[in-house]
Amino acid sequence: MKPRVLLPLLSALLLCEGARGEAQAPLQPGSCEDPAVLAAAGLALGKINADRREGYVYSLNRVHDVQQRQEEDTGVVYLLTLDVLDTSCHVLSKRDWKSCEVKEMHDTPSYGKCEASIYINKVRRIVDLRYYNCTLRPVSASRVVSVCPDCPTLVGLDDPAVLLAVENSLAKYNNGSGQTKYFALRNVTNARSTWFQVFRYSVEYIIQETECTKDNTDVDLSKCKLMDCEFAHTGFCKGSYYKPFPPLLTGDNHITATCEIFEPEASRKEEQRHKEAAPQGHGVHSHAPGEQHESHEQHLHEHQHLHAHEHHHHNASDTGTQPHPGPLGTVQELPPDESQPRVFHLLADHHTAANQCPGKKKHVFV
């Protein structure tokens, strides 16, 4: 990737900056190994992940290019090009990218770049992500097979076999979980298949809480409405399925399901308000008689949905929270490129001694 790829982004950003009507200091090239630049890159990526609502958390592989300028007396604007890899964490988890593992080759990772503008003022304690644009694509099937012949390869998310795998996996989760309500499929995020005597499908998918309770054991999940409120829980699931052979095989050991249920943001904010309002040392806030609020860790794994929000729901105006103003940037997902001889052909190494750009990679798949 040559520096000129920054020109469209820089032009757009300069137009936006110029619209402020302020005299701007000229952009200067920075060092991709400068600790301040690396810190800015980490902050920018964290805010990019936090702004996104779909897909997997991105991890920083390296700073590919940087330009910067002074703004006001103590602030700096960084225009960054970041080489990124996706991780096994979904953005709904709200996990910091540093705590998420980059996908291995057998998980068919996606790779690409994010261009971002971020303003940092340490004196005034301001970190403002102004814009981002990310473009990624998954590693090609031919590349995966060349490195790992037995590894699973990507399958279309709408493949009937994939949807069957998701249906069976979700049914197993609903039947075995301690949740009080059924969860239904929201969307499939990843699907891979491999062949070993039978086709085995590995799937990842997002689920959402429905209005159907477990009190009714004979439920048609397709007729259960998703909870449409700010306190609805979502979850990220990983599962697998294969059609047993011979057909006489019984049980459901050919189906797996592991789901992580996430606390809704509105619930976290309400819990925080309760903690701030509670007297010192008082760990249980007001609930129905005999009802207590378990720890966050317990709440995450076996959530019984016995919150104050079961008694009353809020609108955004009631809670003092503002609706999300919309994404600060865009994400484009490209199809695999089977013509690329190397995984990181788009991120090919070249190094300019003057500014140490691109920086050093943290992960290299060859």
Task: Strands of the chain (E only): list them.
Answer: 28-29, 56-71, 75-90, 110-121, 126-138, 153-154, 181-196, 198-213, 234-242, 255-262, 329-333
Q: What is the pTM of this model?
A: 0.77
Report whether pLDDT(281) > 60. no
Report whether pLDDT(75) > 60. yes
- Mean pLDDT score, 8-25: 55
User: Residue 125: left (phi > 0), alpha (psi -120 to 50), or beta?
Assistant: left
Contacts of 360 (CB under 8 A, 6+ apart): 33, 62
Q: Tell me the three state secondary structure of residue 50.
A: helix
Helix extents (H) in 217-340: 265-277, 296-301, 316-319
Sorted by where each starts, the structural domains of the chain and their CATH numbers stand as: 3-140 (3.10.450.10), 153-319 (3.10.450.10)
- Mean pLDDT score, 32-45: 97
DSSP state of 282: -
Contacts of 216 (CB under 8 A, 6+ apart): none
Confidence band (pLDDT; 50, 70, 90) for 318? very low
Q: Are 193 and 144 in contact (CB under 8 A)?
A: no
Query: What local confidence, expressed as pLDDT, does residue 202 receive?
Result: 96
Q: How far is Cα 29 from Cα 32, in angstroms, rounded to an integer?
A: 9
- Averaged confidence pLDDT in the chain: 80
Tokens of 90: 């979904």
Q: Are 119 and 128 in contact (CB under 8 A)?
A: yes
Per the DSSP assignment, residues forming a β-bridge with 76 are: 70, 120
Q: Which residue has the higher pLDDT, 246 or 362?
A: 362
> Between the CA of residue 208 and those of 91, 165, 288, what are the distances in Å?
15, 18, 25
Confidence band (pLDDT; 50, 70, 90) for 70? very high
Give whichever of 10-24, 233-247, 347-361 has the largest mean pLDDT. Answer: 233-247
